[in-house]
Amino acid sequence: MQIGLLLLVLSAAAQKEPGIFQKLAAAGEDFLGRAVNDFGGCDCGCCVATERLDQELERSADGRLLLTHKCVHPNPSTEECPTECVARDRKHKLEEDQFVEPGSALDYARYCFHNCIPAVMINGGQCMQSSALAGNATGDGLKKLSDEKPLLREEAEADAKVKAAAQAKAKAEAQADAAAEEEVKQVTWDLRGIRAQRAAAERAAAEARAAYSAGRTKLHTLELARATKMLDRVKKAVSEEAKSYEPHLMSAQANATAAGDSAVEVYNVFKKAKAQLRKVGATTRQLAEKLIPEAAAAAAKSEAASYVARMHFGEPGFRRQAADAAALPYVTAVATGAQRAAQYRHAAEAAELDAREAQVDMDAAEKEAEALAKSGERVAVGMKKREAAALRHKAQDAEASAARSRATAEKALESAAAWQKAAQEVVEHSAYMYDLSVAKSSTLPPIVALPPPAAV
């Protein structure tokens, strides 16, 4: 029933307006074709000016106009300015380049580049189309445009001057950079030479220190040999002097015998005086008490002189002299070792002071290098860093020298202590040998070994 009503309506419409269905079909086809294939016309109004690259710079046909800007299609595209367009004004060479039929859609960017020129040579400026471009796309229209627009040519010349100045500035900066690089190379080469000279100087200093150490070792060896020879001489002298001790001992023995006889005589005098004193009277007793002390004083004086001679108080101490003569080289070595230890300690303190000064200078150089690095002075930074490295090596050398000096001072003190102990042993041995040589003689033991007399 619905189909019948539809046919009835269609029949009525065809009777009222003949050909209506053919018109509707043609209109639908036109609308669909425009929706699928129809594009807007190409217009330079959708193009904007932008600066050319250095390799894109070119001049107009007459050579008076420098083309520093070009026309491009803005990105992203809009509804008014799509990515493709149809050039309806003429037949373009672009259609042949893109292998399309005349009147087909073209790339809007290519159209702007080949068929539009900037109205003003500034970025973002408007573009326009010259009628002279219709017959020749190689620049004839630009010649007419340059004649009609003298202001545009002047602006292009000004831009050319600006570009030339920029290129000259870039060239000058490149030359300055090359000169700076060459200077850095020269400084590096000079620093290498300085470093080589420093290494040679350090090597010579090391050889000198080795020679000095060898000389000191030889000197110490000679001193030791000299001390040994002196000890032999002392032993020989002591043995020779010991031969002359026997007469003195015999004399001392005789003195001791005489002193003993004197003491016995004094004792007998006192004994007889006491026996006689009981028999005399009071007057005689008083007289005896006066005369006896005088006689006793003379006897005591004689006995004291005998005791001094017996104990060798008036003679030099041969035992002490022998011991002192034997210990003299060792005591001299002790004094020399103490003096050497003091000298090496002073040298170590001076080296430590130099190390601290070098450390302070190194810290200052590193701070200056950091400041110069912030300002971009590369050559000065390199020189400061090398100066800091040299100061670091100097501080390390000074610290090592101080350590060596202190170690040498400690060894000198140990050597002095050993020499002092040896001196004590030599004194004891010399005294023992002296006593032994005297004890082995045929005479009595030495008087010096006797204990002091008891108090009266």
DSSP 190-253: HHHHHHHHHHHHHHHHHHHHHHHHHHHHHHHHHHHHHHHHHHHHHHHHHHHHHHTHHHHHHHHH
Quick one: pLDDT at residue 446? Answer: 46
Q: How far apart are CA 371 and CA 425, in angstroms?
A: 67
Q: How far apart are CA 350 and CA 340, in angstroms?
A: 15
- Which pair of tokens denotes residue 4? 């019948």
- Which pair of tokens denotes residue 371? 């400041």
Q: How far apart are CA 357 and CA 351, in angstroms?
A: 10
DSSP class of residue 138 equals T
Task: Determine, yes or no, domain membership for 304.
Answer: yes
Task: Determine, yes or no, domain membership for 368.
Answer: no
Task: Per-residue pLDDT tens, the chain, 456 aa: give them.
Answer: 555 555 565 666 666 666 665 665 554 544 444 444 556 778 888 899 998 888 888 877 777 777 888 898 887 778 888 888 877 665 556 666 666 676 677 888 888 888 888 888 888 888 887 654 444 444 444 444 444 444 455 666 777 787 788 888 888 888 888 888 888 888 888 888 888 888 889 988 998 888 888 888 888 888 888 888 888 887 777 676 666 656 666 666 776 677 777 777 777 777 776 776 566 556 666 665 666 666 666 766 776 666 556 555 555 566 777 777 888 888 888 888 888 889 999 999 999 999 999 999 999 988 888 888 888 888 888 888 888 888 889 899 989 999 999 899 999 899 889 888 888 888 888 888 877 776 665 554 443 433 333 333
Task: Determine, yes or no, domain membership for 288.
Answer: yes
Looking at 126, 157, 188, which one is the last position of a domain? Answer: 157
Quick one: pLDDT at residue 36? Answer: 46
Q: What is the dihedral of CA 392, 393, 398, 404, to 10 degrees?
A: 130
Looking at 315, 333, 360, which one is the last position of a domain? Answer: 315
Domain that holds residue 271: 244-315
Do 53 and 152 fall into the same domain? yes
Positive or negative, the CA dihedral 281, 285, 287, 288 is: positive
Quick one: pLDDT at residue 149? Answer: 45
Task: Determine, yes or no, domain membership for 107.
Answer: yes
Looking at 157, 176, 196, which one is the last position of a domain? Answer: 157
Task: Determine, yes or no, domain membership for 428.
Answer: no
Total tally of structural domains belonging to the chain: 2
Task: Determine, yes or no, domain membership for 72.
Answer: yes
pTM of the model: 0.29
Q: How far apart are CA 413 and CA 136, in angstroms?
A: 108
Task: Determine, yes or no, domain membership for 73.
Answer: yes
Do 57 and 152 fall into the same domain? yes
